[in-house]
Amino acid sequence: MDGTADRPQVLLIDDDVELVALLRDYLEGEGFLVYAAYDGEEALSELAAGNPELIVLDVMLPGADGFSVLRQLRHHSDTPVLMLTARGDDTDTVVGLELGADDYLAKPCNPRVLLARLRALLRRRTEWTGDAERAAGTTTQRIGDVQIDWVGQRIWVNDREVALTGAEWEVLKLLLSQPGHVVDKERISRHALGRALTPHDRSVDTHISNLRRKLGPHADGEPRIVARRGAGYLYRVRT
């Protein structure tokens, strides 16, 4: 998976040969370099051989399923992952996001919608890399018991480093940019996922749930991130 420098690499992991062929043709026509794996074991072998810039991962795979692949991937990589789930299956969506997926699409998916989602993930990843390369040093900030390295995209709570996915980082960064103020879900979705919030979309809520679990409560037991019904979420600061 060595690729071409100016063409972003995407690994498609799906056992539907016809769908993979269709998506490969479409994405390559849009400037991507596309690799494919058709089962969980092949996917893990591809990932061991190289680290693509984006991954499209189907939940239902023969052998190791998509959740197993994602779980193993997240042990050593923060590569953005978009999961393909069964239409209307909220359980698959929530589990995938909880395991570290950055976004999801229900199958059958429109290739144009997939392209838009991948470009949003790629744009966010490219912005992080560019910021890190341009920075002469590390810019850090402390908010209560949380320390943030804005350039390195790292965060510590009480000196304990917390591993976040790209989407989780973007959600938290937005909340921390306005501590104590409510940020509405529509803005969070556009900022963190690069797309408008849609009806019955639980992505933002699941990313928030993951952040609460990973960051833990404040020392007094109060939650860090608070929901305001019908309004959005805020990060509560303790001094």
CATH of the domain at 183: 1.10.10.10
Shared domain for 102 and 189, answered yes or no, is: no
* Domain shared by 20 and 121, yes or no: yes
Q: What is the pLDDT of residue 16?
A: 93
Clarify whether residues 107 and 147 are in a common domain: no
Burial of 205 (0-12, 13-18, 19+ CB in 10 A): middle
Contacts of 72 (CB under 8 A, 6+ apart): 44, 64
Predicted TM-score of the model (pTM):
0.71
* The two three-digit tokens of residue 239, written as one number: 């001094």
| Residue 211: per-residue pLDDT | 94
| CA–CA gap between residue 206 and residue 21 (Å, rounded) | 32
Regarding whether 203 and 89 lie in a shared domain, the answer is no
The residue segments making up the domain with residue 171 are 136-235
Q: 55-98: per-residue pLDDT in tens? A: 999 999 988 899 999 999 988 888 899 999 886 677 888 888 88
Residue that terminates a domain, selected from 71, 104, 131: 131
Encode pLDDT of 100-148 as tens digits: 898 999 888 899 999 999 998 887 766 554 444 444 445 788 888 888 8
Question: 124 and 28, same structural domain?
Answer: yes
Q: Report the distance separating Cα 13 and Cα 20, nearest Å.
A: 8
Looking at 70, 102, 131, the residue that finishes a domain is 131
Quickly state the pLDDT bin for 208 (edges 50, 70, 90): very high
Same domain, 21 and 126: yes
pLDDT (0 to 100) of residue 235: 93
Backbone angles phi, psi at 178, to 5 degrees: -135, 60
234, containing H or E segment: strand 232-235
Which domain-ending residue is among 131, 163, 185? 131
Give me the number of domains the chain comprises.
Answer: 2
**Nearest residue to 55 via CA among 70, 40, 76, 41:** 70
Q: Taking each helix axis from N to C terminus, what angle separates 17-29 and 111-134, rounded to the nearest 10 degrees?
A: 60
